Amino acid sequence: MSTLFRTKYPNQEQVVSGTYNVDDEDSVLKCNTSLGAVTINLLEIPSEYWNTLYKLYVVDNSGNAATNNITIVAPTGFTINNASSMVINVNGAGCIVRICADTKYTGALNYNPAGNTDTGWLDLQGFSWITTSTLVPQYRVINNQIFFRRNLVIPLVDSGGSVINYATDATYGTTYVNTARVTPFTGVGGVTTFTGGCYFNNGASVLQSAAHVPDANYESAWIIATKSQIFQAIPATPNAIGLYHSPYILTLQTDGVLKLETLKARELAVYPTQVTGNSILRYLNSNTITSSFSQNFDDVVDSMTTARTLNGSLITNYDFNQIKSSARLHNTTFNPAEEDEFGAMAVPLMNFLAYK
C-alpha cells in the first residue's frame, strides 16, 4: 500500500490537558479531554516578522470534546477567526491554526461547526401559480448568506379575475406570450400593488422560515426585466411577438417581505409632489408603439363565428384579419413602468443577494 511522503524527523507532539500555554516549538497538541475541558492559549504574533509557514495542529485526542470543549484563545489584542477565541466541540475533531496578519490567527476546523448551515434550494412562497416546478423562483441560505435563482414573474389576471398559471420560461413559450392582458393578479397568493411597485405573496414573507429572514433590508441594483406579447403593428403585418423591458429594484425586508419598485416609485419617493422625471434610465422603459394592436385571445371569434379559447397554446387555422376586426382587439397602452400594467414581467434573480 502506498503512503504519503515521510518527513525526515517526527512531528513535535505532546498530550495536553487543562490550560496549556503554547510553546513556539509546538507542532501538534493532542488534547486529553477525558479529564475535563481544555484551554489552549496562543502566543503573541511578532509584528511583521511572523513565519508564513506557521501551523499548529490541535486535536481532540480522547474523543470527548463535545462534552469537554477545547477552547483556543488568542492573546489580548489579538484574534482568531476575528474573535477572541474559538471552540472545538465535536468528538475527535481537530483544528489547524495559522497566522494571517500581525494580530490575526485563522483556525480551520475539520468539520462543519454548529451555526454553519446550508438549507439547499427552497421555493419562495407565493408562487404556486407557476405550474412548472423547475421555474418556481428559489432561495438558499448558506451560513449567513441568502442566495436566489430563476425569475420572479409578476402574476397575470385573466378576464374572470383568476390568476393565469405560468408554465413557461424566457424562451417565449405558451402561457403569457399569447395574452394581451397586462394587469397583475392581486388575489390570494398574488401581489399587492402600491404606487410604482408591488409586494409579492400579498405582502407576506416569501421565505419558508422566520430563521431565514435577513438582518437588514437588502436591495438589488437596477434589474432589467422582460415581457413578451403578441401584437400587430399594422393590419398587413402577421402576428408577431413584442418584447418589452423595464428596470426594477428588488428589496428583501427584515420581515421576509419581497418588494419590487419601478423607476417611478423611486422618483416619487424623492419628490412625491412632483411629476416623474425624464432620466436616461427612463428610456429603458418600453412602451408599445403608436397604433400597435395587442390581441386578446380570451374570446376570439373566427370567420366561422365559432368561439375559441387559447388554453395555453396558439390558436390554429384562424383568420387573423377577422380577429383583428373583433371588438375584443384593442390598442394597447401597456407600460411596464406602471404598477397596474407590469403583469407578466419576468425579473431575473441571479445576482440578488442578502445576508442574515
What order of strands is seen across the sheet that includes strand 56-60?
Answer: 13-16, 28-31, 56-60, 94-101, 104-109, 79-80
Least confident piece of the model among 184-198, 235-249, 289-303 = 289-303
The mean pLDDT of the chain is 81
Handedness of CA 153, 158, 160, 166 (dihedral sign): negative
Please indicate whether residue 333 or residue 157 has the higher confidence score (pLDDT). 157
Please indicate whether residue 229 or residue 240 has the higher confidence score (pLDDT). 229
Domain ranges of the chain: 13-109, 122-355
Strand 330-331, strand 293-294: pairing: antiparallel
pLDDT band at 315 (very low <50, low <70, confident <90, very high): very low
3-state secondary structure of 5: coil
pLDDT tens by residue, 76-102: 999 999 899 999 988 999 999 999 999
- What confidence score (pLDDT) does residue 287 get? 67
Least confident piece of the model among 55-59, 138-142, 154-158, 324-328 = 324-328
3-state secondary structure of 317: coil
Residue with cell 445576482: 351
pLDDT tens by residue, 186-207: 999 999 999 889 999 999 999 9
Is domain 13-109 classified as CATH 2.160.20.10? no
Mean pLDDT of 3-22: 90
Mean pLDDT of 161-189: 74
